[in-house]
Amino acid sequence: MSLGKESGFHNNFTELLFDVLFIPYPSTWNNDKNIEIKEQNSILVLKDYINNNTDSIAAIIIEPLVQGASGMKFSTTQFIKTIVKFLLKLFI
Protein backbone atom coordinates (compact mmCIF):
# COMPACT_ATOMS: atom_id res chain seq x y z
CA MET A 1 0.00 0.00 0.00
CA SER A 2 2.87 2.39 0.70
CA LEU A 3 3.90 2.27 -2.95
CA GLY A 4 0.47 3.39 -4.08
CA LYS A 5 -0.16 6.03 -1.45
CA GLU A 6 0.14 8.90 -3.93
CA SER A 7 -2.82 7.54 -5.91
CA GLY A 8 -5.21 8.54 -3.13
CA PHE A 9 -6.77 5.09 -2.81
CA HIS A 10 -5.22 4.53 0.62
CA ASN A 11 -5.75 7.89 2.34
CA ASN A 12 -7.44 6.26 5.34
CA PHE A 13 -4.24 4.36 6.08
CA THR A 14 -1.67 7.16 5.65
CA GLU A 15 -0.46 6.98 9.25
CA LEU A 16 0.34 3.27 8.87
CA LEU A 17 2.37 3.53 5.66
CA PHE A 18 6.16 3.75 5.47
CA ASP A 19 7.99 6.47 3.56
CA VAL A 20 8.64 5.90 -0.12
CA LEU A 21 10.77 7.99 -2.47
CA PHE A 22 9.07 8.56 -5.82
CA ILE A 23 10.67 9.73 -9.03
CA PRO A 24 8.56 11.75 -11.46
CA TYR A 25 7.07 9.37 -14.02
CA PRO A 26 7.94 10.59 -17.54
CA SER A 27 4.47 10.06 -18.96
CA THR A 28 4.46 10.40 -22.73
CA TRP A 29 2.43 10.04 -25.89
CA ASN A 30 3.11 9.85 -29.64
CA ASN A 31 5.16 12.80 -30.95
CA ASP A 32 5.89 14.13 -27.45
CA LYS A 33 8.64 16.71 -28.07
CA ASN A 34 9.52 16.88 -24.35
CA ILE A 35 10.01 13.17 -23.66
CA GLU A 36 13.82 13.31 -23.55
CA ILE A 37 13.72 16.13 -21.00
CA LYS A 38 11.12 14.28 -18.89
CA GLU A 39 13.15 11.06 -18.95
CA GLN A 40 16.42 12.82 -18.14
CA ASN A 41 14.74 14.58 -15.21
CA SER A 42 13.39 11.30 -13.83
CA ILE A 43 16.79 9.62 -14.13
CA LEU A 44 18.54 12.56 -12.44
CA VAL A 45 16.07 12.35 -9.54
CA LEU A 46 16.66 8.59 -9.28
CA LYS A 47 20.45 9.07 -9.24
CA ASP A 48 20.14 11.78 -6.61
CA TYR A 49 17.96 9.56 -4.40
CA ILE A 50 20.42 6.69 -4.67
CA ASN A 51 23.46 8.88 -4.00
CA ASN A 52 21.85 10.51 -0.96
CA ASN A 53 20.06 7.48 0.51
CA THR A 54 22.38 4.56 -0.19
CA ASP A 55 22.08 3.12 3.31
CA SER A 56 18.30 3.32 3.52
CA ILE A 57 17.03 2.08 0.14
CA ALA A 58 15.71 -1.47 0.39
CA ALA A 59 14.30 -1.84 -3.12
CA ILE A 60 13.71 -0.08 -6.39
CA ILE A 61 10.42 -0.84 -8.06
CA ILE A 62 9.80 0.26 -11.63
CA GLU A 63 6.37 0.06 -13.19
CA PRO A 64 7.20 -1.02 -16.74
CA LEU A 65 5.95 0.94 -19.72
CA VAL A 66 2.41 1.59 -18.42
CA GLN A 67 1.53 3.02 -15.04
CA GLY A 68 -2.09 1.93 -14.82
CA ALA A 69 -3.36 2.80 -11.34
CA SER A 70 -2.82 6.52 -11.77
CA GLY A 71 -4.38 7.00 -15.17
CA MET A 72 -2.73 4.89 -17.89
CA LYS A 73 0.56 6.78 -18.09
CA PHE A 74 3.05 5.47 -20.67
CA SER A 75 6.84 5.60 -20.78
CA THR A 76 9.29 4.52 -23.48
CA THR A 77 11.20 1.26 -23.60
CA GLN A 78 14.40 3.30 -23.79
CA PHE A 79 13.60 4.91 -20.42
CA ILE A 80 13.23 1.50 -18.76
CA LYS A 81 16.41 0.21 -20.43
CA THR A 82 18.38 3.27 -19.27
CA ILE A 83 17.28 2.77 -15.66
CA VAL A 84 18.05 -0.95 -15.70
CA LYS A 85 21.48 -0.32 -17.24
CA PHE A 86 22.25 2.32 -14.59
CA LEU A 87 21.15 0.04 -11.74
CA LEU A 88 23.10 -2.93 -13.07
CA LYS A 89 26.28 -0.83 -13.10
CA LEU A 90 25.70 0.04 -9.45
CA PHE A 91 24.98 -3.41 -8.11
CA ILE A 92 26.90 -5.81 -10.33
**Where are the domains positioned within the chain?**
19-91
Q: What is the pTM of this model?
A: 0.77
- Sequence-distant (6+) residues with CB within 8 A of 90 are 50
Q: What is the pLDDT of residues 32-90, one digit of tens each?
A: 899 999 999 999 999 999 999 988 888 888 877 666 666 677 788 899 999 999 999 98
Cβ 55 vs Cβ 76: under 8 Å: no
Distance CA(53)–CA(4), nearest Å, equals 21
What is the greatest pairwise CA distance in the chain?
41
